[in-house]
Amino acid sequence: MASHNHSHVNDGHVADIAIIGGGIAGVSAAYWLAHHPSAPSVTVLEAEDTLAHHTTGRSAAQLIPNLGAIPLRPLTLASVPFFHAPPEGFAEFPLVTPRAVVTVAPPGDEAAFEAQLAAAQAVDPGTREIDVDEACALFPGLRPEACGRAMLEPSGDDIDVAALHQAFTVGARRAGATIERSWRLETAERSVLEGDASSNGTFERQAGGGWADRWLLGADDGRTLTARLVVNAAGAWGDVVAGICGVAGVGLQPRRRTAFMTPSTFDGSSAWPMVVDVAHRWYAKPDGTQFLCSPADETLSPPCDSKPEELDVALAIDLINQATTLGIRTVSSAWAGLRTFAPDESMVIGPDPEVPSFVWCVGQGGTGIQTAPAAGRLLADLTLDGAPSPFFDPRPETNLAVIDLAALTPERLVRRPVVTA
């Protein structure tokens, strides 16, 4: 691995905290870190020339309380009050609008349906089984014969992902954070500081110190940044970034998810709920005068600028046309994004046990948007205070369970050898 000469340090920028990645994970972490009382200086380093270019900008934009691994559900529930009543001045317009979710099980999928119904009711007591007539009344495009059982999750929401990402970005900047684009990490050199050489005495003192490291980060165009802490919010590239930083990976698995838009032939379909197959073979969600559809695929992929496969789109069209009367014949646009999972499908949040100045914020899977307010806050809490803040105190009205830190922090994972890019 190449390393920069220390004489370059003065040529580059200095920050207390460098965040690698400008998707929703990176900018939400930047927002909460920059607002911490210890007032750290924060710089976000985004490899692409636009923020949210990869996974964040390709989301289905739906909040589903009963989504993702069990340890992630408290993060969704802690985020719900934030979405509905964000801090003063955070967003100009509402971040969410109600959109219920109907899950359908074809005949023969009763066991999967029962398990999902129980899991959904544990998170959202308002979830209930509905009969086929009610399911077809809510989503008139359903074929009754394709619907053996159905459930309604009434507390789902559409999330305005672009507005949410923008609000975190603007809020982080207002609190003093800097955001660099086209800054692609190529080298990282960690050295141990002698004495207190913090760029910000307040940060060092209030955050408890303990970071004897200095990171010299180098971009592929020769720019450098010196930082005390590195936050890895690099999505599908999380283990690659760890390797560049000389930190063992956590076994991240990027998986491709395909989506496409198709025109609606129904009047009033924009108000319909999202409909999801219980076995995750397909879903369809109204989006204005169109439907956003997916085969809910999870094909393993290397980190890349993901593209849709025609076969996946064709498969989804076939399955959706069997289960509904949407009569999909044309696709107006198609895309794919990478949802990245740790081996146990829970997130990886918090300081690395071997290198505490390297902080993980990866493995969001398909829940990164709906958990972003809480995940970013938890990262800031664990990094600067060592424990969750009152933001995570159980609140009966949200059915919020206590955060299971052992299922989220990197200590739980078998470490992989250092990957060098």
Q: Has residue 71 been placed in a domain?
A: no
Last residue of a domain, one of 307, 341, 375: 341
Burial of 108 (0-12, 13-18, 19+ CB in 10 A): exposed
Q: Has residue 85 been placed in a domain?
A: no
Length of the chain measured in residues: 421
Q: Has residue 45 been placed in a domain?
A: yes
Last residue of a domain, one of 316, 341, 366: 341
The vertex-20 CA angle with 11 and 402, nearest 5°, equals: 140
Burial of 26 (0-12, 13-18, 19+ CB in 10 A): buried
Report the number of secondary-structure helices (H) and strands (E) in the chain: 9, 20
Considering the domain architecture, whether residues 337 and 371 belong to the same structural domain is answered as no
User: How many domains does the structure of the chain reveal?
Assistant: 2
* Residues 6+ positions from 81 with CB-CB distance below 8 Å: 395, 398
pLDDT score for 197: 44
pLDDT score for 48: 81
Considering the domain architecture, whether residues 261 and 324 belong to the same structural domain is answered as yes
Considering the domain architecture, whether residues 376 and 300 belong to the same structural domain is answered as no
Considering the domain architecture, whether residues 141 and 274 belong to the same structural domain is answered as yes
Considering the domain architecture, whether residues 271 and 230 belong to the same structural domain is answered as no
Considering the domain architecture, whether residues 238 and 351 belong to the same structural domain is answered as yes
Alpha-carbon separation of residue 199 from 31, 37, 57, 58, 225 (angstroms): 20, 16, 34, 37, 13
E strand or H helix that includes residue 118: helix 110-123
Q: What's the CATH code of the domain at 107?
A: 3.30.9.10
* Residues 6+ positions from 257 with CB-CB distance below 8 Å: 58, 294, 296, 297, 298, 336, 337, 338, 339, 366
Dihedral pair phi/psi, residue 352, rounded to 5°: -70, 135
Q: Has residue 191 been placed in a domain?
A: yes
Burial of 333 (0-12, 13-18, 19+ CB in 10 A): exposed
Last residue of a domain, one of 298, 317, 341: 341
Beta strands 274-277; 283-287: pairing state: antiparallel
Q: Where are the alpha helices (DSSP H) in 207-340?
A: 238-244, 310-323
- Burial of 121-144, coded b for 16+ CB within 10 Å and e otherwise, reads bebbeebeebebeebbebbebbbe
399 in helix, strand or coil? coil
* Residues 6+ positions from 154 with CB-CB distance below 8 Å: 100, 124, 126, 127
Q: What is the mean pLDDT of each run of 10 residues along the chain (421 residues)?
A: 35 87 97 95 90 64 88 92 96 96 95 94 92 97 96 96 96 97 96 60 48 90 96 97 96 95 95 96 94 92 87 95 96 93 97 95 94 97 93 71 90 78 50
Considering the domain architecture, whether residues 35 and 176 belong to the same structural domain is answered as yes
C-alpha radius of gyration, the chain, whole number: 22
Considering the domain architecture, whether residues 180 and 315 belong to the same structural domain is answered as no
Q: Has residue 95 been placed in a domain?
A: no
Q: Which domain holds residue 107?
A: 100-155+253-341
Q: Has residue 419 been placed in a domain?
A: no
Query: Tokens standing for 15?
Result: 């920050």
Q: Has residue 302 been placed in a domain?
A: yes
- Burial of 193-225, coded b for 16+ CB within 10 Å and e otherwise, reads eeeeebebeebbebbeeebebbbbbbbeeebbb
pTM as predicted: 0.91
Q: What's the CATH code of the domain at 192?
A: 3.50.50.60
Considering the domain architecture, whether residues 240 and 360 belong to the same structural domain is answered as yes
Considering the domain architecture, whether residues 285 and 392 belong to the same structural domain is answered as no
Considering the domain architecture, whether residues 130 and 204 belong to the same structural domain is answered as no
Considering the domain architecture, whether residues 168 and 105 belong to the same structural domain is answered as no
Q: Residue 177, by phi and psi: left (phi above 0), alpha (psi -120 to 50) or beta?
A: beta
Q: Has residue 362 been placed in a domain?
A: yes
Query: Tokens standing for 71?
Result: 């340890």
Neighbour tally for 232: CB within 10 Å: 31
pLDDT digits (tens, 9 = 90+) for 285-309: 999 999 999 998 898 998 878 888 9
pLDDT score for 61: 78
